[in-house]
Each structure stands twice: as structure tokens, then as C-alpha cells.
Amino acid sequence: MALLQISEPGMSAAPHQHKLAVGIDLGTTNSLVATVRSGLSHVLGDEHGHTLLPSVVHYAENRMIVVGTEAQKKQNSDPHNTIVSVKRFMGRGIKDIDATQLPYHFAEQAGMLQIETRAGIKSPVEVSAEILKVLKARAEQALGGALIGAVITVPAYFDDAQRQATKDAARLAGLNVLRLLNEPTAAAVAYGLDNASEGVYVIYDLGGGTFDVSILQLSKGVFEVLATNGDSALGGDDFDHRIYCWILETAKLSPRNAHDTRLLMSKSREAKEWLTAHAETQISCLMSDGEFVNLTISCEQFTALTANLVQKTISPIRKALRDAGLTIENIDGVVMVGGATRMPQIQQVVAEYFKQTPLTNLDPDKVVALGAAIQANVLAGNKSDDELLLLDVIPLSLGLETFGGLAEKVIHRNSTLPVARAQEFTTYKDGQTAMSIHVVQGERELVSDCRSLARFELRGIPPMVAGAARIRVTFTVDADGLLSVSAREISSNVEAHIAVKPSYGLSEDEITNMLKASFNSAEADKSARMLTEARVSAGAIISAVNAALEADSALINKDQVSAIQDEIQRLAAICATDDTDAIHAGVETLNHATEEFAAVRMNASVSRALAGKALDEIKL
């Protein structure tokens, strides 16, 4: 028996009304838009039937903005005004890129980098918005109506700034973002629902510039990401470059000019794609100096040239399995995503490692957009036979700076999204009425080795002795992976809050390097943390003893005061060294030197409390 759905007068939907929502794969090289029609997800094409839209924007001389294939034709003749691979710039500052290796003129501005074009200064958000506008128009033309929203996919390693930049681009394009969805998760949704799969699946995503691996648990429409990892410096372009180097070596060519380099790289890419389904291919081209290159490369040669590149994808897989607490025996299937996974040597190594044939029945170029469309259809409220719940993870730990420059993790990496975690902290000094909250991201123990995300202050803390205040700091990360932080002093309910939206954030390389550094520097980080904690503890004891002497030094003789002061100076000197054990020993020595003083102070305190009171007035 079905429940009746009751609406306000005039607000009920017409029978069988379908709300128009799409999934968008905003890619570095190509972008796609897909939707669900008659219960099936489809990638939408343009008027010529082309589904892939090159992610290229050209600002023409007539101030027209051209996007896609026509813009791509201008990247060699007008590189300063033809923006390609803009996704690399989203949420990034000028210091995060090597501007000397790019054909653009960058404007000197704080925050996210800006590109000078004949149409004016353009941010990566504005450029991406032009791509999204074309996809939006394509969808509305194909579906015959206005969209109520879109699910847009992002790399799993996108940080807060990059995700926020993507949402801003969508807003500029007139799109309502229903959700930002991690690309591997979108692929898992498309595969899982298309095949009614359940179990633990690995998403092996090798694109043009990056490699990502995610492990998901699929169970009755629930898609839970267990772990994610990758290599942001490995992709299909590296396989092209191996063929390019082979051409130079085999044909005995000296380094060429930019025209010849582009030509040889293009031929290398064509050869790679041809060898996907053929035993060998011919590489023929005419160099700018009139020299003719005519070579034949076989599939076996190509496999040998790229063997170490293929093996480099195995290390992130091992790490992801370890983080998820799984072995290859626990894996029910491996889904191949990204055009580069079509290479036979990739599929062979994956099959050998997991001891099973990888799953390739869905188009690796389209699977991300298809999964996003399925999620968009659900979030739009359209009825579906498939119940769907997505549980993604955060790729890097989030925390804050504590005294001594230590990074205290509040939300650990690979925590399921959305997530909210709280932790209590306290003041360090007597009478402290404010606290600076410094939000950081990374896996290292010291703040100096992590990335700063935001700072804010909690003011109005009631003056108390050090350690008495209770400040509860809450980190909240929503389903889009966007962070907000609040701080509240428990006794007074004084509160401060910030939505973390840095002007630009982490690159994928920085995130990968942070993870690598955390593994390689674990022992050094542990030692550094122990040293800092010892210094902080010693400093707190020195402050407490000095305060006690200032208040009650008259209770002991001058020689005792002098002896305690000598130990304080000795401990302060030891704290300037890097000897953690010596600091702990110095603390013990100072504690021992103040034992008699502490006893005298206790007696005096008790005497003051009992002075003038009769025995029957004292409550035992």
C-alpha cells in the first residue's frame, strides 16, 4: 500500500511531470553533460551529435567567445587568448604555478590567478563558466526546457577553494548546483546501478594528466567510499611523451622547435590511440627543416617503453587498500575509468594484480557524466526505481594550530562525508580573554608543514586561570566537501564561526606531496611533536612556579627561594636545546625542588581557610 503525497493547493506537480536535471563532467581536456530519460542515463550531444566538448575557450578579435572544437583550432595561432586546461587553475594562486611555462599573460592580483585576454582580465572561474554555459544550453535545447539544477563532478582531491571555485563558475553560468560529486564516486554510481552490482569495488581512473583510485562499498543502493589515493603527476600524457622520446632517439633527431615538438607529440598521441586496437602503427611526418620521419612502432615496443608508468599506478592502489583495511581478495570488481585505461597494457597489469578481469562495459570517457546524471535525477526529486545514497570521503585531514605550532587533527582523512567533529581546547595563560583559531589542512604534525586555510578569533572569554576555560571547536564538512568551523566557550556561550573559503587552495600535487611527506617523515614528525610538547609542558610549570613565588615567597627563606630560581633558570636553558629527555628530567628536578614550598603553601592555605572558625562550623 502506497502513501498518498499531499501538496499545498496549486503546488502539486502534474502527473508524470519530470524535473529537468543534468550531470556535468567538467573535465580538464573534455567536458560532457548527461541526463536521465525514461529511466536510463544518456550523454547529450550537440547539433552534430558530438558528445565531447573540448574544454577550450577562445576570446576572439570581434569580442565573441568561442568554446569547444572551434576554439581548439585557435590554440596554436592565438595562444594568449585561447585558454586550455583551465581546470588546473581553479582555486589556485599565481605562486602555485610555473607561469614561465605557459603562453598566458597573468595579472598581478592577490588570491586566485587572473589571465589577461583581449576581452579583459579573466579568472579561471569566468573561463570555466563559459564552458558550463555551452553545456547548459546544449541540455536545455535537447530536453526542451529550463534546468532546475545540475550535479557537477570534481576530482576527489579538490580542496575547499577548488570546490568553491567550481560552484562559483556554475553560478556565473546560471546553474543551480545540486551537489558537487567526486569523479570516482560518480563512476561507481554509473557502474553499480547499471549492473545492479553489490560488494567492494575499486575505481581505477587514469585520465590525461592524473591517476586516481577509490575503493567503494556498494550495498543496496548505498555507495560508501572507503579510501582514496592517487598520483597527480601520472596520466595519459606521460605515455605520449614516451613515444615522443622514442621517436627522437630512433630517428636520431636533435631537440626541435615548438612547431616540431607539437607535431611529434600529436603523432605520438595518435600512435598511442591506434595501438590500443592494432599490433603496430606507422609514424610519418615532415619536420620544419625538410627532414622526413617514417617509423614503425609495435604494441610490444610501446608496452616495454611504458612498463614502469603502468607499475607506478600500483603503489597508490596498495596505499588505498591499506587505508581501507582490505586485501585484493576482498575486491569484487575493478571499474576502469578514463580514456587512458583503454591501453591493453593497463588492463593486463590491473588484471594480474587483482587476479580478475577489469570491468570495461561502460565507456570510460562517459561513465563519470552518466553517474552524475543519475545522482542529479535523484536530487531533483524524480521518482526512480533505484534508491541511492552516496557516502564520500575527505582526502586530507583538517585541524587547527595549538600552542607550540602543533597541528591537532580534528577530522582525519578518509572520514565519510558529510561529517561534523568537535574537540575541546583550553587557554594557556591566566586571564586569557581571546583565542586565535588557525585552521590547517595536511597530515604533518607541525603547522609549518601543513597548508593554512583560514584564521578567526574567539573573543569575550571570561578571564580564568590557565586551563580552566573550555573552548569547544566544531569542524563541519558538507556533502560537497566544503568546510565551516565554529568555536564556543562552554561556560559563557561566547561563539565565533567562519565558513572556510580561502582565495585559493591546494593543488593536487601539493596534496599528493603532503601525503608522501607524511609517510616519509613519520618518525621525524613524532620526535618533533614530543619535543614541542615537552617544551610547552616545561613552560607551563615555569610560569606556575614563578606565579607562586611572586605570591608566597615570604613563606620560605631566601636560600630556598634562590635554589628554586636557579632550577627555573636551568630548566629554561635546557628548553632551548633539542633534548626531549633532558627537558623531562629538568621538569622532574624543578618539581622536586618545589616540594617543600608546595607543602608550606598548602598549609598556609588551609590555615587561612580555617582561621576564626569553630570546630562545629567546619564541614568534614
Catalytic residue IDs: 25, 87, 183, 205
Rounded CA gap, 337 and 475, in Å?
Answer: 33
Point out which residues pair with 117 in neighbouring strands. Answer: 120
- Residue 488's H or E segment, with its range, is strand 483-489
Rounded CA gap, 195 and 218, in Å?
Answer: 11
What are the CA-CA distances from residue 485 to residues 92, 180, 389, 440, 454 (Å)? Answer: 22, 20, 26, 11, 10
* Cis peptide leading into residue 124 (ω within 30°): no
Rounded CA gap, 464 and 287, in Å?
Answer: 78
Q: What proportions of the chain, in percent to the nearest 5, are helix, strand and coil?
A: 40, 25, 35
The dihedral through the CA atoms of 90, 92, 97, 101 has a sign that is positive
Q: Which residue has the cell 598511442?
A: 272
Q: What is the three-class DSSP state of 497? A: strand
Locate 159 and state its grid cell: 580542496
Count of alpha carbons within 13 angstroms of residue 318, beta-carbon side? 6
Other beta carbons less than 10 A from residue 12's beta carbon: 11
Other beta carbons less than 10 A from residue 83's beta carbon: 26
DSSP symbols for 207-239: -SS-EEEEEEEEETTEEEEEEEEEETT-SHHHH
Rg of the chain over all Cα atoms, to the nearest angstrom = 31
Nearest to 590 by CA among 530, 618, 548, 552: 548
Nearest to 413 by CA among 312, 319, 527: 319
Locate 163 and state its grid cell: 570546490
Cβ contact 305:238 at 8 Å: no
- Residue 457's H or E segment, with its range, is strand 451-459
Nearest to 227 by CA among 327, 151, 312, 311: 327
Extract long-range pairs of 562-569: CB within 8 Å, 24+ residues apart. Answer: 563/593, 564/590, 564/593, 564/594, 564/597, 567/593, 567/594, 568/542
Q: Which residue has the cell 633534548?
A: 579
Locate 123 and state its grid cell: 579568472
The strand pair at 149-154 and 21-25 is best described as: parallel
Backbone phi, then psi, for 307, in 5-degree steps? Answer: -60, -45
